[in-house]
Structure 1
Amino acid sequence: MDPTLSEAYRLCRSIAAEHGKTYFLATRLLPAERRPAVHALYAFARMVDDIIDVDMIADRDDPDAVADGTTALWSIEEALLAGLDHRTASVDLGSKERSLVLAALLDTATRYDIPTEYFTAFMTSMQMDVPTSPLYRSRYADMDELRTYMYGSAAVIGLQMLPVLGTVVDVEEARPSAAALGEAFQLTNFVRDVGEDLDRDRIYLPADDLAAFGVDEDLLRWSRQTGRTDQRIVRALAHTVALTRALYRSAQPGIGMLEPRARAGIGVAFALYGEILDAVENDGFTALTTRSHVPNRRRLAVATSAATRGVRTRLVQR
């Protein structure tokens, strides 16, 4: 591999290891030759997300920070589209780290023939998080509106993964499950991070679902500011957790559609993200004041069990 690309993939791996601990643990169970592509997909999504949440939202009262973040996003999107269209062979975003991440992403997209539409949909949803964008949304009236956002921010991540992981069925058959799993992962994050998102002036949980349990924005902010909870919030979060678990159930058959060597890794991600919901429930649905997590010991146990099953599968195949 070209030395620059080797450096790019190493950087993507380090980003995944540092920021996506559950995700990275799951990738360790994937075939070694496919891990770099998965790391590249993660690192690119993380890079764009950090520009919005760290460089822009955290300093939203600083016009220069917002302007710099907006310029960076447009530059990335322009370079991304040019690279996917093969109109340029070089990537220079004015930042070595960002340039390397994009180079790895473009190589992955070309190597595995990932449809361009998945990346453009992702960038569109990311613009919905940018206050300076005409597409900006910080509240969602109902689940249909939220799913429009989640298609680009989550479903397409699952769809991007399919060519990398490989399937034992026609890829069209596997796509609904892959998209559903991406959405389930993101809804899990929305439940766990509802308090942190509120600090960023975002409410991803659909307004009509919250209202059905008597929850409005004032009540959410009261809970966040006082550290106290309310049974109306508890019931609303429990409802969202139930909806998310139903989405996991609809996605589960898709794991068996993957190539056998990829199933253990995705199975670990499936199990551990699902257990985040258990943690939220065990914490009394105090997600506005507590960031629930799966203990490291439990994560290691799940990964070890999956790895053992994966080794047995490979031995049987051989």
Structure 2
Amino acid sequence: MQSSARAELDAAGITDPALRAGYAVCRALNAHHGRTYFLATRLLPAARRPAVHALYGFARYADEIVDDLGDARPVAEKAAQLDLLGTQLQQALAGERAEHPVLAAVADTARRYALDPAHFVDFLASMRMDTEVTEYATFDELGRYVHGSAAVIGLQMLPVLGTVVPREEAEDPAAALGVAFQLTNFLRDVGEDLDRGRVYLPAAELAAFGVDRDLLTWCRRTRTRDPRVRRALAHLGAHTRAVYRRAEPGVGMLEPVSRECVACAFRLYRGILDRIEAVDYDVLNRRVSVPPRTRAAVAVPGLLRALLARARA
């Protein structure tokens, strides 16, 4: 285990060897798969980072049951595995010993921060939708999915981050930020999602610009750009920016020692939208990302502000 990982666990008072191993697995998942998210997490006080890694690790673990492109298992088998995961999680949350390291870590985090068990139920319900639903007709339909897959992640984070206002007041912006991150991913990953047989962009919004699933698939297969697709993606990008605006006031509602973490994630994820716009919405056959130099330009000043906030605290 890396010295920084050990220092985080020590700061959080996590001493049980099995739990430490579970948190280490979650941290590795975050570092490998969530570069932007992991970088932002580094701005938190060390004692709070393991909980964030655990929540990310559990979400990633469930997501991989559904979205492993190299996995040819039938949909029904994946759904059954999600059901089993839900049962095992409920048992772990009730105090039973979890054999899987990720479940052990996330159950420990849930107990430490008194997380609402309903959020985990809603999250797994959305993961189950990924085994059954391949497209969404409207934003309202998509909203039911992103509530469990994204909004509840923001709500789970609030007890870890802490607030300077009543927590209920910060819940709507926190949920909106989770949704904004998810919508950003949908725009960035539209081509990869097509390869998985899914379209998360609402069909009604696409149809308004003359776009449907067949056109997206054809553009993906032939590596052809189409002005109708560009206009549709620009429209959805503008919608996503509006969600970021709803979320932005929530940053100031957080405890000062946590604000820079969320502000960094906010800037970096919104920066993905900037990159999508910079390539003129040509995302069907490329994966845009924030360049390392830009990530550093956001993170380093954020780190200095975070250290100052900790000193004041």
Q: TM-score, normalised by structure 2?
A: 0.93
2:309 counterpart of 1:308: no
Which residue does the alignment assign to 2:112?
111
Equivalent position to 1:11, from 25, 34, 56: 25
How far off its partner does 1:111 sit? Answer: 0.5
Which aligned pairs between 1:139-288 and structure 2 lie closer than 5 A?
Answer: 139-288=135-284
2:71 counterpart of 1:59: yes
Letter of the aligned partner of 1:59 in structure 2? D
Letter of the aligned partner of 1:82 in structure 2? Q
Which aligned pairs between 1:29-178 and structure 2 lie closer than 5 A?
Answer: 29-54=43-68, 58-60=70-72, 62-63=73-74, 66=75, 68-84=77-93, 86=94, 88-92=95-99, 99-130=100-131, 136-178=132-174
Letter of the aligned partner of 2:97 in structure 1? S
How far off its partner does 1:69 sit? Answer: 3.3
Q: Distance in 2 between matches of 1:28 and 1:138?
A: 35
How far off its partner does 1:67 sit? Answer: 5.6
> Is 2:138–2:203's contact at 8 Å kept on the other side of the alignment?
yes
Identity %: 55
* 1:57-99 deviation per Cα after TM superposition (whole angstroms, max 9, x unaligned): 5434x44xx5653443222110111222x1x42113xxxxxx0
How far off its partner does 1:18 sit? Answer: 0.8
How far off its partner does 1:106 sit? Answer: 0.3
* 1:126-174 deviation per Cα after TM superposition (whole angstroms, max 9, x unaligned): 00001xxxxx211100000001000000000000000011101000000
> Is 2:79–2:128's contact at 8 Å kept on the other side of the alignment?
no
Partner SS, residue 198 of structure 2: coil
Partner SS, residue 274 of structure 1: helix
> In angstroms, what is the RMSD of aligned CA positions?
1.3
Partner SS, residue 285 of structure 1: coil
> Is 2:92–2:103's contact at 8 Å kept on the other side of the alignment?
no
Q: Distance in 2 between matches of 1:311 and 1:101?
A: 30
How far off its partner does 1:305 sit? Answer: 1.2
> Is 2:151–2:174's contact at 8 Å kept on the other side of the alignment?
yes
Cα pair distance change 1:290/1:140, threshold 3 Å: same
Letter of the aligned partner of 2:227 in structure 1? Q
Any runs of at least 4 consecutive aligned residues in structure 1 with deviations exceeding 6 A, and if so which?
Answer: none
Which residue does the alignment assign to 2:11?
none
Aligned length: 299
Q: Distance in 2 between matches of 1:34 and 1:311?
A: 14
Which residue does the alignment assign to 1:96?
none
**Long gaps (5+) in structure 1:** 93-98, 131-135
Partner SS, residue 217 of structure 2: helix
Q: TM-score, normalised by structure 1?
A: 0.91
Letter of the aligned partner of 1:41 in structure 2? L
> Is 2:54–2:102's contact at 8 Å kept on the other side of the alignment?
yes
* 1:228-286 deviation per Cα after TM superposition (whole angstroms, max 9, x unaligned): 11110000000011010111011001010000000011111000000000111111101
Q: Distance in 2 between matches of 1:72 and 1:19?
A: 22
Q: Distance in 1 between matches of 2:225 and 2:206?
A: 14
Letter of the aligned partner of 1:90 in structure 2? R
Q: Distance in 2 between matches of 1:91 and 1:314?
A: 34
> Is 1:139–1:206's contact at 8 Å kept on the other side of the alignment?
yes
How far off its partner does 1:182 sit? Answer: 0.2
Q: Distance in 1 between matches of 2:263 and 2:34?
A: 16
